[in-house]
A = this chain, B = another copy of it.
Amino acid sequence: MSRPLYQQVKSKILHKIASLSANSSIPSERALSLEFEVSRMTVRKAIDELVDEGILYRDKTRGTFVSNKELVRKNTIDDEKENETCHLLYMTHRTFEEIAPILNVPIYEDIMRIVGSRQRAGEIANIDEIYMTSAYYRREVEDIEEVFELIERKKDFRITKTFIPMLIPVQFVNIMNIPMDAPIIMVKSIYRSFSGETILMRKTYYNPFVETIEISN
A contact residues vs B (CB 8 Å cutoff): 22-23, 54, 57, 65, 67-68, 70-71, 74, 78, 154-155, 157-167, 182-185, 192, 194-196, 206, 208, 212-217
With A23-B195, A54-B158 as known contacts, state yes or no: A213 contacts B71, CB within 8 Å. Answer: no
Does B212 lie within 8 Å of A163, measured CB to CB? yes
Query: Once the chains bind, are A183 and B166 in contact (CB under 8 Å)?
Result: yes
Which of B22, B167, B217 interacts with A154 by CB under 8 Å? B217
A215 / chain B contacts, CB cutoff of 8 Å: 160-161, 163, 215
Whether A167 contacts B183 by the Cβ 8 Å rule is yes
A163/B163 contact (C-beta < 8 A), A183-B183, A194-B67 known: yes
Complex: chain B residue closest to A52, CB-CB:
B52
Copies in the complex: 2
- For A159, the chain B residues whose CB sits under 8 A away are 216-217
B residues in contact with A71, CB < 8 Å: 158, 160, 192, 194, 196
Q: Which residues of B contact A217 (CB under 8 A)?
A: 78, 154-155, 157-159
Q: Which of B74, B155, B196, B208 contacts A164 (CB 8 A)?
A: B208
Query: Is B23 in contact with A165, judged by CB distance below 8 angstroms?
Result: no
Residues of B within 8 A of A154 (CB): 217
> When the two chains form their complex, are residues B74 and A160 in contact, meaning their CB atoms are under 8 A apart?
yes
The answer to whether B74 touches A213, judged by C-beta atoms less than 8 angstroms apart, is: no
Residue of B68, B157, B185 near A195 (CB, 8 A) is B68
A194 CB, nearest partner CB in chain B, Å = 4
| A176 CB to nearest chain B CB (Å) | 13
